[in-house]
Structures are given as C-alpha cells and as structure tokens.
Structure 1
Amino acid sequence: MDGHEPHEHNHSGGHSMEGMDHSMHMGDFKKKFWLSLVLAIPIIFLSPMMGVDLPFQFTFIGSDWLVLVLASILFFYGGAPFLSGAKTELKQKAPAMMTLISMGISVAYFYSLYAFAMNHLFTHEHIMDFFWELATLIVIMLLGHWLEMNAIMNAGDALDKMAALLPDTVKRLTTEGVEEEVSINDVKESDHLIIRSGDKIPADGRILSGATSVDESMVTGESKMVMKQKGDTIIGGAINGSGTIEIEVTGVGESGYLSKVMQLVQQAQSDKSKLESLSDRVARWLFYIALGVGIGSFLLWLVLTGDLSMAFERMVTVFIIACPHALGLAIPLVIARSTSIAARHGLLIKNRNALEQTENLRYILLDKTGTLTEGKFTVAGLELFSGMYDEEETLKYIGALESGANHPLALGVMNYIEEKQLEPYKAENLQSLSGIGLIGEVNGKKVKIINEKEVNRLSLTIDEMRKEKYLQQGNTLSYVVIDDQLVALIALGDKIKPQAKLFISEVKKQDIIPVMLTGDNQTAAASVADYLGIDEFYSELLPENKEEKIKEYLAKNEKVMMVGDGINDAPGLARATIGVAIGAGTDVAIDSADVVLADSDPMDIIRFLDLAKQTRRKMIQNLWWGAGYNIFAIPLAAGILAPIGFILNPAVGAVLMSLSTIIVASNAMTLRIKGE
C-alpha cells in the first residue's frame, strides 16, 4: 500500500506447472500420485529393469499380462497430466519438461506394447520391454510435482478478494426520493445512493449533499483521512467516515476504479506468467538433443547394419535414457526444502520462479505506507498554545471526545493516551459535525476537536511556525478548542518502522537501488526518503502510476522487485519481476505477490535474497546432476563407441539414472541459509 493493496497465480507453479492442467486441485494430484504408486508397485516387482532381473523381482504364470494391464492403466491415468501439459507446450511451440516427460513415458509404453506383442503373440523372440521404466518415471514425476505444489500453494484469488471490497447491497434513492435496498449489481451510472457512517463506498461517485471524512488508504495509498464535501469525487472500495452523504454514481462495472485496477492486475499476471524457469530451458534442450540423437542413431544404425530391430532399439534406448527421473526431482526437492526453510523465517514463497529471478536484481521499488512505515496513525506531537492546560490535562480532554470514535485518527490518539496511562475525562452531549470534527461538554466546559478549516472560520490564531514542521512530515493536524480558546494542536502521522533504515542500508550493500513509491504528497515523501537514505522516490502515485514506473524499469531490461501491502500496490506486485507483499496488508496484495513477509519486517527481504541465492546455487547443482549424465549417457546409448566394441547396456544407463536421482535428493537436503 502505499496505502493499504494483486502472478495469475497461474504462473506460480514454475517450470513443470506451467503446462499442467490448472484445473487440477491439490487433493486430486495427491490422489493421483498414491493411486499411481499402487499401480506401479506390482510392475516394479514383476517387470525387469531394462532387461535385468533385480533380486527382489519374481514372476508367475500370467504375470506378464498383469503388468501389461497395470502399465496401460498407469500410462493413461498417471501420465494424463504430463500428456496434457505436453500438448499445451507444443501448441505454444515451447517444448519443455512436460514434453520431455511425455516423450519418455510414451516411447516406454508403446515400445513395450510392441515388445509384448512380439514376445507373446507373434515371433516369441525376446525383445526387452520398458514397463519398469514407465512405472518409475510416472511415479517419480508425480511425486516431484506433488512436492512442488505442496510447497507452493496459491492462498486465494486476488481478483475475487478485490471484488469483495464492495458491499453486496446498497441504499438507493428512487425518483420519488424513497430509500430502497438493492443489489450492487443493479446499480447504474447516475443512480443516487445514500452512504452512512462506516459504510463501504459501493461505487465511484460525486457527492450531491453532506460532508464526511473518507479512508481511501485501502485503495489509493493516501495514509490519512480525506475530507470530502459537496462536489468532491469518491472512490468505490473506500470506507466512509463520520458523515452521511448522498452521491451520484459516476462509475460502475468496468468503468469503476476498482475494476480498472483489477484489469491492470489481470494483464500484469498474464504477461508475467511467460517468465521461463531455468529447468524449462534445460528440459527444452534435453528434449531437442534426445530427439535429434535418437532419430540420428536410428538412421545411422539402419544404414550401417540394415537391421531395423537393432536400429529401433538404439533409438528407443536413447529416448528412455533421456527420461528425466532426476531432472524431474531436481527442482521440486530444492523448492520443497527452500520453502520449508523460508516458512521458519516468516517467508511464504508462492511463486518459485521468484527464487530464480533474484539473480542480477537491480531495483527494489518500495511502497511507503505499511512497508517502510507502520501503516497506522500514531501521535507525532502535541503543541500547547495556552498556559491554562498542561499536556496531561489536554490529553484527558481530547480522550473524552475521541474515546467513542473508531476512525484511524481516534484510535491513534487513544493508543497514545493509553501508553501515557491516563484516564480520559467523560464527555456529555457529544456530537460529530460532518466535515468539521467533534464537540461535547467536558467538566462543564465546551470542548471541540476540529480541523484547520474550522479554526480559520472561527478566526482563531495559529502559530504557523509550530505547525509547519508537522506538515512537512505529512502529518494530519487536529486542533483542540476549550471554551472558544485555541488550546493545542495534535499531530498524527505514520511512524517509520524501526528496521527500515537498516534494511535500506543492507539493500545498498548488495548493489541494489531502493526506490520509494507512495500515494502521499511530495513533502511527506521527501521527508521519509531523506531520513531513510533513499535517493529515488515518486509521490502522489495512483495504482496505474506505480505499475507504469515498474514498466519503465522493466523496459530497460532491469529486474525489479516491488514491495507493497495494499490494493493500490496490486498491479505493481503482479507486474514486477518479483512481487513481495507485507503480511499485515490486504488479502488482495498478498494474493498478487510471489512472496509474503508474514512478520511485516522489511529485513525479511534481505533473508529472502540470501535464501534465493543459496536456492539457485542448489538448483544449478541439481540440474547438472539431473541432466548432466545425459551428456555422456545419450551418445553412449546411441552407440558412439560401437566402432571400438562398446555399446552402453541399458541396465547400466538405468543405474546411472538411479544414482543421479539419489545424488539430487541428497544435495537438496543440504540447503542452508545464514543462521541455520
């Protein structure tokens, strides 16, 4: 937020999730894995591994037919998400992990059907089948994807959360002036609505009568109550303060402010989902290499030997060797370990691509309110103008009027009085004056808490020098008048988080440039930026302005992290290379981010950067172990050393695959970050 604010979160699945059927829920995937494992276990015990009988394996009459049936069910049931994903990847002309897996399981299954037919129905010669490899590949791939989905789950739909900011029903005036309650969906432009104290404002509009204060921070990022009167515009999704107003609707549906923010989020998520992960690129190259070498070896062996069966077996062996058992686990195991470590440190990683994208990160764009500041009003100062009342006495009078109110300013004042361990006086005949403030009787005195406009109307004199320092810091000022005498001013503002200055210093040490974005005014923004040591900042920004700033940096081919907590940050969080939401912010912001800071501590961003660095290092190591053996195994499987009498035994290739998988799993578990 700057203020208080949506990675579609379709993209949150990373490499292998992209091609997946997104309608598949977590529970469905878990069920598919366990049922596939049940189908695979008999196959593993009854079918040889690339033609080699393992010590624990056995057969009986008809066991071959049982393996055929189980493998067929497993291929079409357990392999369905991969086949569907491959279809999507090929349609997009971007073959990657899903295509590589589908090639492996399809070749293994259909060649095994051919081998079974030849062995049992036609020639009765022994041709090696790959049912064992089919079963283990599908189960391992499902396990990898389950691990990844379990580690990273979308907490909800940002767009749904944003729509929920509007009330379900509204009070509308008929042409006869009669008030009626109607559904928000029935509201049209030019309708007249009545909005009472504390109501959510249902649509963009213009005030026809009445005056009030409006909390727009959830939407615009302005961190103080905004006074509104006849003729002023208001924004749907904001919260009405103390007054009752009548408005004329100027924007509903797609023309409304919130709807436009939702459109920005949707577009940003769609664009960002095209980010390609490292393992996607590795899988793509491995697919092309395996396909090219496999077909090439088939043609070469056919030309050299004229033996179709031998040539076909070499090609199939290449495809099977390239099956990414270890590659399919290389990233999910690291992700599972990384997200577990992150959770212990108050970090929720929702999009695993964020861990990879931190490399060469250049800018961190920081929303001010709620990110660098607390996001709630606290008393910044109390200035006394009369010697008749000391500070404690004045606060007791203020507390008498504010104790019954629930708007942000009142809560800030009452928290301050409570900290001082003061007991406020009791007020009588308390009234709320729309657009002015509060008035009541306290200890027989007429007490008012009013805004500066009312002070000027009453012709009371203000010491300009004493109020200026508070205005420069972007504080909201209220004035205390007792028996028509100006007694004090109380300033309330948004307090800077104690860790913020250290955080900015640490960011700079990593050669990352901090940039502050805020919906607040230039004066308040400059004050905070100067104190924290931020050289670049932009003030008075609307949500589309924030997203535009991020686009500007992205257009320079720079990687950008956006940190925010409000609805007005949502498009930016979705657009940035990495979106980080403050956990104390809105559900909308949290749902549109890649990473959530559960403790709302900006220093957690430094911990995330360290974790991402270590995670990426492990990813690269595992990708080498998971795919690197193919550099040697694929050419050997193709028969490159046949001229000197060496042809890779498929069983040896299977052992290499298994060894690679074990190394990948062990390496993932050694992931650590500082302090662990």
Structure 2
Amino acid sequence: MNKNQMHDMSSMSNQHDMSQMSHSDSMADMSSMSQHSGHMHMMAGGNMMNMDMGDMRRRFWWSLILMIPIIFITPLMGLDLPFTKTFPGSNWVTAILATALYIVGTKPFFTGAIAELKQKKPAMMSLISMGLLVTFWYSIYALLANTFLHSDVMDYFWEFATLVVIMLLGHLLEMSATMRAGDATTELRKLMPETAHVQHGDTFMDMPLSSLKNGMVVQVLAGEAFPGDGLVQSGQSQIDESLMTGESKPITKKVGDKVIGGTINGDATLLVLLNGVGNNSFIGQLENTLTHSQNAKSQAEDLATKVASWLFWLALAFAIGAFLIWTPLKGLNFAINIAVTTLVIACPHALGLAIPMVIQRTKAIAASDGILIKNHKNVIMAKNIQYALMDKTGTLTNGHFTVQKLVFTGIKEDDALAIMAGLESQSTHPLAKSLVSYVTDKKIQATPMTQVKVLNGYGVQGQLKNVTYTLASGRYLDENHIQYQALDDMGTVSYLTDGQQVLAAISQGDSIKTSTPQFIQDLKAAGITPVMVTGDNQQTANHVAQQLGITEVRAQTSPQDKIKLVKEYQSKGQVMMIGDGINDAPALAQANLSIAIGAGTQVAQASADAVLISPSLTKVIDLIHLARNANRKEIENLWWGAGYNVLAIPAAAGLFAFAGITLNPMIGAIVMSLSTVIVAINALLLRK
C-alpha cells in the first residue's frame, strides 16, 4: 500500500474511547509486531514476503566469494577474456561452484517469482528467475553434452554468477536504504513502562504489560509513564502529553479524565481504570499505522515493476517464437541456441541496478549536506511539493521554554527570582526547569523554601520566614480573590504572590528558531504554501504565525487531526510534513514527503522519510531540489536499462536476420555490460 492508502487514523479516536476490549488486546500484540523489526517487506507483484536483512547480506557475500573464481576460470559467452585462466577440469570446477551459488543465492528471487506468478503478475522477480534458471540449467546441459557427447555447446556460467551477485547487490542496497520499519515501532515501545502496578484489593502487584487487561485498575506514581489508556479513578495531576498531542503545556487530569499510555504523570499519584491496552491503545494504533506506512512503493519502482513485466513477456514471446520459426529453417540445435541466447540477453543486469545506484548516490549527497535519508521512495518522488505542513513546537520554534517577560511590583528583582527558583527547584515541570535555568544563568542563588507543595492545576507553594509564597496561574488568583493586573503576553504567565498581593509576574514561551523566517521565505519563493499545524491553542499559534508571515494556521490538532489535514491538502496537491514529536509521527507517515528534525523524538525520526541532522530548516529546500534531480536520474536509468533489452531481445531472436543483422552472443554480453556501466555512471552524475 502507498502512503495515500494508509489505514484512516481517524478511526483511532473512536477506538480510543472504547471502554471494553477483548483479553487478546494486550501488550503481547504489540510485542509480536516487533518481530518484524529485523526484516524487510519486499513487494512481489503486490504480494509481501518477509526477508531478513542479515540473511540477504550473508547470501550476497557467499555468492560474491563463489563468483570470483567462476569469472576467472570461465569464458564469457565463449570468449576468453585476458584474465581467463582455464585448465583441464576447470569446467567441472566451475559447475560445482555454480551449483553452490545456485543453492546459496537464488532462493530470494525464486520465492519472489512464485509470489508474482501466484498473482498472475510476473515482474522483476520472474524476469530474474527466468534468467537464472535458463543460464544455470542450460549450462549444466552444455557441460554434460560437451563432456559425454563431444558437442560444442556454449555454457553461461559466467552470466549466471554475475547475474546472481548483481541482483543480490541491488536488492541489498535497496533494503539498507529503505527498510527501517522497526525503528519507529521500537521507539514507541520504549515509551511504555516494563511493568504496571495493578490493584489487587488493598494492595498493588507489579505485572508485565503483556498481562494487562481492560478493566484493571493501575497505580501510576509521580514521574512514571502510564502503562495504557484509561480514565482517572482517583487523584489529580499534571500530565505531560506534549509528545502525543503536541500541546506544549502540561495538562491537568482529574477524576473522569482520559489519560494516554506512554505519557508522563506529573507530581501526584493517580489510580487509572484501563480501557485501552495492546493494539487497541493509542500507541498500539500509532504503531500499526507506522508499520503499514513502510510498505510504500515509489512511482519509479512501480514503473520498474511494469517494465520488468513487459520484458518478461517480451523475452518469453520472442524466445518461443524464435524457437518455432528457426527449428524448420536452421534445425533444432540452432533454434535452441537462439531461444536460450534470447532469454540470456533478457537478464536484467542494468535494470536491477537502475534504482539502487541512484538511491545510494542520493543518500551520499544528502548526508554530506546534513540530511539523513531513511525512505528514498518518497524523498525521490516528492518532485511537485505544493504544501508544507509544519509542527510549531520544536520545528518552527526551539522546542523549550524561555523567559520572555518579567514584571516586579513591590519587591526587588533578585529577591523575587530567588524565591521563584526556590519554589521550583525540586520540580520536573518544563516551566520550572526553564525558570530555574534562567535564574541560575543570572547567577542568583535560589532561596531555600520549606513546606513546598504542588498545587495541581495551579502552580507551586512554599514558606519562607512564616510567609507563604505561591507561584501560580491567574486562575489561582481569581479563585482566591487576589487582585492583579493580567500580564499581556502570548506566553504562559505565572504570578508570584504572598497571599495578599501580586509581587511579580513572569511569562515563559517558546522562541522562534533563527533559521525559520528565511525558510518560510524560501518555501514561498519555491511556490510552496506553508501551513502551521500545532496542538497549541489558537492564540499562541496565531501569535507565532503572524511573526513568520504564515497565513494558514491549524491549532489544537491531535495526531488524528493532523492525518486528516494531510489528506485534505493532498486532495489539492503533494504535501510535505515537517515535525519532531510523536504526535507528528502518523502525519509524517501519511505525507508525500516527511522530514523530522534531528533534535526531535526518535519516533518522529524513525517515521520520517528524511531527518535533518541539525535543527536548522535551511536544508529542506536543498532536499527538495535533490529529490527532483534524483527522480529524473531514476527515470533515465530505467530507460537505459530497459532500452538495451527492448532492442537486444528481438535482435537475439533473429528478428532482423532478413536484413543481415544478427546479435552475436559475445556482442550481446558486451552491450549488456556497457548498459550496466552507463547506469552506474549516470547515477554518479547526480547533483543537488
């Protein structure tokens, strides 16, 4: 399936709300999905087959070892090359080595061909397998005929060996460049705790996540990750859901509120009734979506599959036709030789390397420019990007809070900051860390406070010399009837009060990256419309968008909403998605081209087609230009690879014999090698 045919993640929100799931929907389901992390899923005529990367690598190296002596002791289509060293019995040595190579190296192709033929859609695997079968078994026949019947039949062991190795190399290059399906799901699983504190009467017992069932009540301590989705049964706490929802501010959760597995509990203990575990949890459905998204085939690969299918039928038709026509005209031996030569000429050496060579060249260029390409299929095909959907926090902004504004009334600045830092010094809250860091940088010593406690949903409170100080939100001041003048700022505002009056106000927010304004201008200059998509509130989103000149803004979006937005814009044109959080992962998987920021979460990086090593956005435009050039090179290589076969197959079959034009097998081999070299050189000529 391609990216535009993914499972609709909007169903996630409905399933996420379900309160009762089956016992089988446990974390064991998620664990089973990880078994594919070391495998690739290779398209075989629309069918999927698991192929272990390590197994493919071993097959390649053993095949290469076996091929080397074959090419030195075996003539190329009857031609002794300068390095060819035959000796008495060398033909039998070659046959033994080729047989070992047949056993070691051909299985992936035969398996793929069987899958294609079962679907009645022969393509690349069938074309390769046909070439392997003909070259090997005809060579065995030639060996036996020449040895025992004293015939003079040409073998194709040289062609067989090189075809196996070149095709294994091509697929190995493609696998290493594209198959990272396990990365995203592995990083998602890392968010979940290994065990959960399950309630049994008045006690709690630690149980592995694979044993969790819906309806269980679990205890989640301060600072722990939730083991599944559920509803708060007891307690109130601040929850960091930024990785999942994109909301940069911690969310207050109380009895009856939903919590998401993998998010982090704040400073209080909660009891949670589980209603979503395993594949039916929020993370489980994210994992399933990301796994399916890795199965995309690029347009160029689809074209290569179609070309291989055409060549398969073309070669087969010409071989059979040549055999039937030449048998009465020139005899059986001549007809067999023509038919075999036709099938050998059809071996897709150049076609098999056409795309993998461009993949490796593209990755090398991008890496030298600070970009890691993970999914070449979508990077190369993103040639007509029209919309750039971008997350705000961590993508357009730096992704961490900074102090933006301070106001002091009736207290010295240093004293106020020292008290604030003293109140926040033990907190792990992002706002608290930002404030403490700011005070430390100003070389102000935090004032030790006593009886410090967290006011869930409001702020923090402590005592100093019998005076109770509170650093809290405006809502706390309203509820406690403390008069204050609201600080006019777009950031998160907290107020320091002694219970009688407001002593200071602080606004904290996320600063815009220095590279962002130029990047937005570059996008517009390239004809790409920037769209900001964020989980933050509309006011904060509009404030950032106005500074950057972004006119299209979507705020308070969930991961499901982001997928819908990507699909909405895809109905208008090709979409690029740039993000850095787990909440961006499904949208990254859905987009035509997805880019993750190097400083972002590993899940986002694993889900993206490309990763920027630095947080700067200035390389994105370079990547788009590279993608367009690489796509052109792939198409050119397909023409070179297929063009040789289209011309050589009829010539080998004797179609032009009436004009005195025949294709000598030796000439065919030379042209075949030249075509492969041209494909390689053309790939190396790729530039940004």
TM-score over 0.5 (shorter chain): yes
Contact 1:14 1:351 in 2 (8 A): no
Which stretch shifts more, 198-207 or 214-223? 198-207
C-alpha distance in 1 between matches for 2:95 and 2:65: 15
In structure 2, what is the equivalent of residue 209 of structure 1?
A: 234
Describe the shift of the 1:570–1:273 C-alpha distance in structure 2 as closer, same or farther (beyond 3 A).
Answer: farther
Contact 2:44 2:113 in 1 (8 A): no
C-alpha distance in 1 between matches for 2:121 and 2:540: 48
Pairing partner for 2:397 from 370, 373, 377: 373
C-alpha distance in 2 between matches for 1:443 and 1:607: 60
Pairing partner for 1:193 from 212, 215, 218: 218
- 1:99 equivalenced with 2:126 (yes/no): yes
Pairing partner for 2:562 from 543, 546, 550: 546
- 1:476 equivalenced with 2:492 (yes/no): yes
In structure 2, what is the equivalent of residue 422 of structure 1?
A: 444
- 1:499 equivalenced with 2:521 (yes/no): no
Describe the shift of the 1:367–1:14 C-alpha distance in structure 2 as closer, same or farther (beyond 3 A).
Answer: farther
Give the aligned residue type for 1:334: V
Contact 2:37 2:181 in 1 (8 A): no
In structure 1, what is the equivalent of residue 269 of structure 2?
A: 244
In structure 1, what is the equivalent of residue 378 of structure 2?
A: 354
In structure 2, what is the equivalent of residue 77 of structure 1?
A: 104
Which stretch shifts more, 92-101 or 487-496? 92-101
Contact 1:152 1:350 in 2 (8 A): yes
In structure 1, what is the equivalent of residue 484 of structure 2?
A: 462
C-alpha distance in 2 between matches for 1:111 and 1:454: 87
Give the aligned residue type for 2:456: S
Contact 1:294 1:318 in 2 (8 A): yes
Shift of 1:251: 2.8
- 1:523 equivalenced with 2:539 (yes/no): yes
Describe the shift of the 1:135–1:185 C-alpha distance in structure 2 as closer, same or farther (beyond 3 A).
Answer: closer
Pairing partner for 1:220 from 245, 250, 272: 245
C-alpha distance in 2 between matches for 1:257 and 1:41: 52
- 1:625 equivalenced with 2:640 (yes/no): yes
Describe the shift of the 1:67–1:125 C-alpha distance in structure 2 as closer, same or farther (beyond 3 A).
Answer: same
Unaligned runs of 5+ in 2: 1-32
In structure 1, what is the equivalent of residue 311 of structure 2?
A: 286
Which stretch shifts more, 449-458 or 279-288? 279-288
Give the aligned residue type for 1:318: T
In structure 2, what is the equivalent of residue 341 of structure 1?
A: 365
Which structure carries more relative contact order (alpha carbon 8 Å, separation 6+)?
1
Describe the shift of the 1:171–1:664 C-alpha distance in structure 2 as closer, same or farther (beyond 3 A).
Answer: same
C-alpha distance in 1 between matches for 2:679 and 2:209: 54
Describe the shift of the 1:250–1:44 C-alpha distance in structure 2 as closer, same or farther (beyond 3 A).
Answer: closer
In structure 1, what is the equivalent of residue 347 of structure 2?
A: 323
Describe the shift of the 1:11–1:69 C-alpha distance in structure 2 as closer, same or farther (beyond 3 A).
Answer: closer
Give the aligned residue type for 1:186: S
Q: Secondary structure at the match of 1:189?
A: coil
Q: Secondary structure at the match of 2:52?
A: coil
Q: Secondary structure at the match of 1:171?
A: strand
Give the aligned residue type for 2:319: G
Which stretch shifts more, 282-291 or 572-581? 282-291
Cα root mean square deviation, aligned: 2.8
Pairing partner for 1:169 from 195, 198, 201: 195
What are the residue-to-residue correspondences of 1:570-589 with 2, within 5 Å?
570-589=585-604
Give the aligned residue type for 1:407: H
- 1:565 equivalenced with 2:590 (yes/no): no
Contact 1:21 1:81 in 2 (8 A): no
In structure 2, what is the equivalent of residue 436 of structure 1?
A: 458
Q: Secondary structure at the match of 1:354?
A: helix
Q: Secondary structure at the match of 1:389?
A: coil
Shift of 1:18: 8.9
C-alpha distance in 2 between matches for 1:282 and 1:534: 43
Contact 1:243 1:435 in 2 (8 A): no
In structure 1, what is the equivalent of residue 86 of structure 2?
A: 59
Deviations 1:193-228 (A, max 9, x none): 322211112222222332211101111111111122
C-alpha distance in 2 between matches for 1:251 and 1:42: 59
In structure 2, what is the equivalent of residue 3 of structure 1?
A: none
Shift of 1:155: 7.6
Pairing partner for 1:311 from 325, 335, 346: 335
Give the aligned residue type for 2:397: T
Shift of 1:239: 0.6
In structure 1, what is the equivalent of residue 431 of structure 2?
A: 409
Contact 1:15 1:280 in 2 (8 A): no
Give the TM-score taking structure 1 as reference length: 0.89
In structure 2, what is the equivalent of residue 301 of structure 1?
A: 326
Which stretch shifts more, 62-71 or 149-158? 149-158
Shift of 1:29: 2.9
- 1:46 equivalenced with 2:73 (yes/no): yes
Residues paired across the two proteins, number: 653
In structure 2, what is the equivalent of residue 446 of structure 1?
A: 468
Shift of 1:449: 0.8
Describe the shift of the 1:125–1:577 C-alpha distance in structure 2 as closer, same or farther (beyond 3 A).
Answer: same
Q: Secondary structure at the match of 1:22?
A: strand
Give the aligned residue type for 2:83: F
In structure 1, what is the equivalent of residue 162 of structure 2?
A: 136
- 1:146 equivalenced with 2:206 (yes/no): no
Shift of 1:268: 4.1
Give the aligned residue type for 1:540: Q
Deviations 1:40-98 (A, max 9, x none): 22221222211222232233332222222221221231122222222233334443332
Shift of 1:555: 4.7
C-alpha distance in 1 between matches for 2:112 and 2:403: 56
- 1:261 equivalenced with 2:286 (yes/no): yes
In structure 2, what is the equivalent of residue 112 of structure 1?
A: 139
Unaligned runs of 5+ in 1: 1-5
Contact 1:367 1:516 in 2 (8 A): yes
C-alpha distance in 2 between matches for 1:37 and 1:234: 54
Q: Secondary structure at the match of 2:471?
A: strand
Shift of 1:409: 1.0
C-alpha distance in 1 between matches for 2:312 and 2:525: 41
Describe the shift of the 1:482–1:71 C-alpha distance in structure 2 as closer, same or farther (beyond 3 A).
Answer: same
Describe the shift of the 1:14–1:395 C-alpha distance in structure 2 as closer, same or farther (beyond 3 A).
Answer: farther
Deviations 1:415-445 (A, max 9, x none): 2223434333332332333333222234664
Contact 2:43 2:49 in 1 (8 A): no
Describe the shift of the 1:645–1:253 C-alpha distance in structure 2 as closer, same or farther (beyond 3 A).
Answer: closer
C-alpha distance in 1 between matches for 2:46 and 2:510: 41
Deviations 1:606-663 (A, max 9, x none): 2211222232233233333333223432222122321132311110111111222223
Contact 1:12 1:352 in 2 (8 A): no
Contact 2:389 2:575 in 1 (8 A): yes
Describe the shift of the 1:581–1:116 C-alpha distance in structure 2 as closer, same or farther (beyond 3 A).
Answer: same
Describe the shift of the 1:646–1:208 C-alpha distance in structure 2 as closer, same or farther (beyond 3 A).
Answer: closer
C-alpha distance in 1 between matches for 2:292 and 2:683: 35
Contact 1:152 1:339 in 2 (8 A): no
C-alpha distance in 1 between matches for 2:266 and 2:657: 83
Deviations 1:397-425 (A, max 9, x none): 21121122222111111222234343333
Deviations 1:232-273 (A, max 9, x none): 222221111112222333333344322233343344445x35
C-alpha distance in 2 between matches for 1:585 and 1:91: 44
In structure 2, what is the equivalent of residue 24 of structure 1?
A: 52
Q: Secondary structure at the match of 1:440?
A: strand
Shift of 1:306: 5.7
C-alpha distance in 2 between matches for 1:611 and 1:29: 29
C-alpha distance in 2 between matches for 1:255 and 1:641: 64
